[in-house]
């Protein structure tokens, strides 16, 4: 059985830009701590606004905002959620089991991560490869 999609539908499917939601305690877009992560994305050809959409969702110093921010990621139809704190990882894990969540090793120490699955070699820059892991 063969299915043929109309050309307009095929074009829409191909042209969707992936969306990454970056949830952090403070302003990530101005924080040098996260520079290696974003440099790694650029090295892989992901340019914000061109080949990927990055939504920065800071809690502005209020950890109680993490559940709402995690829900906001789903409303924005995130393809991946990146979090920088264990409370943000916990909030994201509560709202989705379908969207991959990338976090720091602190989630491992808190037993939030069931298994350690490192992102693929070259998936992010060497500086971040050791510190960012995927929740499984």
**pTM of the shown model:** 0.71
Mean per-residue pLDDT of the chain: 76
Res 16: pLDDT: 84
Give the model's pLDDT for residue 47. 92
- Residue 67: give the domain boundaries: 17-134
Q: How many domains does the chain have?
A: 1
Could you tell me if residue 74 is inside a domain?
yes
Residue written as tokens 């101005």?
30
Residue 120: inside a domain, yes or no?
yes
| DSSP assignment of 20-74 | EEEEESS-GGG-GGGHHHHHHHHHTT--BTTTBEEEEEE-TT-GGGHHHHHHHHH
pLDDT at 123 over 90: no
| Domain annotation covers residue 8 | no
Pick the more confident residue, 17 or 104. 17
Q: Is residue 115 part of a domain?
A: yes
CATH number of the domain bearing residue 27: 3.40.50.2300
Q: Which pLDDT tens digit goes with each residue over 16-73? A: 899 999 999 987 666 788 888 889 999 999 999 999 999 999 999 999 999 999 999 9
* Reduced DSSP (H G I as helix, E B as strand, rest coil) percent helix, strand, coil of the chain, to 5: 40, 20, 40
pLDDT at 13: 55
Angle value at C-alpha 27, between 89 and 80, nearest 5 degrees = 40
| Residues 94 and 60: beta-carbon distance below 8 Å | no
Give domain status of residue 7, yes or no: no
């Amino acid at each position: 059985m063969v299915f043929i999609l109309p050309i307009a539908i095929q074009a829409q499917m191909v042209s969707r830009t992936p969306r990454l939601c970056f949830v952090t305690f403070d302003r990530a877009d101005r924080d040098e701590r996260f520079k290696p992560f974003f440099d790694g994305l650029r090295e892989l050809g992901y340019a914000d606004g061109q080949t990927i959409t990055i939504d920065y969702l800071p809690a502005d110093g209020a950890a109680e905002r993490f559940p709402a921010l995690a829900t906001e990621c789903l409303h924005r139809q995130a393809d991946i959620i990146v979090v920088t704190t264990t409370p943000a990882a916990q909030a994201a894990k509560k709202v989705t089991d379908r969207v991959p969540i990338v976090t720091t090793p602190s989630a491992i120490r808190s037993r939030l991560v069931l298994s350690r699955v490192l992102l693929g070699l070259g998936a992010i820059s060497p500086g971040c490869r050791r510190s960012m892991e995927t929740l499984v």
